[in-house]
Amino acid sequence: MIDYNHFRKSFYTMKINILLCDTFPGLLPPDIPSYSSMFQRLFNSVESSIQYEVFDVQHNIYPETLNDKELYLIPGSTASAYDNVPWINRLKEFIQILHHKKMKTVGVCFGHQIIAQALGGKVVRALQGWGIGIRSSIIVAPKAEKYFPQKEMRLHYNHHDQVIELPPHATRFATSDFCINEGFFIEDHILTFQGHPEYTHEYNEYILLHHASDEPEEVKTKALRSLANKADNLAVVGFILDIIK
């Protein structure tokens, strides 16, 4: 069992910069004020004094300066990392700068994919189709076993693209039969997850029931059943916060 209480002493001045890649208009239930608030709720469950700043990179709003004591979080999006559009191309350039300067950077779903794509990996539309619901992956890197001692990671998912080739110097830490690269890290400054640690069971159910019309019924039914499992969201928080010690 991980003791999360030590974060209260170590991270009381921590700041997370959320590089917002989508506002998901029409896809959030009334009780969720914004997509970025889902991450604030997640991290606040461990440390309520974390500071946040949101940058709408879809509209070219970026941090003016970089700080190696802060975290740069790239979350989900309905876009694809391989889309040739100006805001995505600029985000890739910014990711390359973050990597070059070894800024602490975390990617979630689309963030995981665009970090891989920006640094020399490859992202494609998956032949397996949509990955939705809760899925289990196997931990394959000793570094990650501290956070997932059962050597298994369960997370919420909602994606159609996948990273099929990792960038140079990246280490895969989790894999599954459905998705070969469930997460990776580069040295001690980049960490990514294909899954959504910010999702709750209620939100995933809401998406499946109200906003999954393009997914086959049998896939949705299986995904809804999978929500009976517990997601390892807090273990992911521990993994993320540890990279900015």
Which residues have a catalytic role annotated? Answer: 109, 196, 198
- Would you list the DSSP string of the chain? ---GGGHHHH-TT-EEEEEE----TT-S-TT---HHHHHHHHHHTT-TT-EEEEEEGGGT---SS--TTSEEEE---SS-TT---HHHHHHHHHHHHHHHTT-EEEEETHHHHHHHHHTT-EEEE-TT--EEEEEEEEE-SHHHHTT-TTSEEEEEEEESEEEEEPPTTEEEEEE-SS-S-SEEEETTTEEEESSBTT--HHHHHHHHHHS-TTS-HHHHHHHHHHTTSPP-HHHHHHHHHHTT-
Tell me the torsion sign for CA atoms 8, 157, 53, 24. negative
Q: Are strands 71-74 and 15-20 parallel, antiparallel or unpaired?
A: parallel
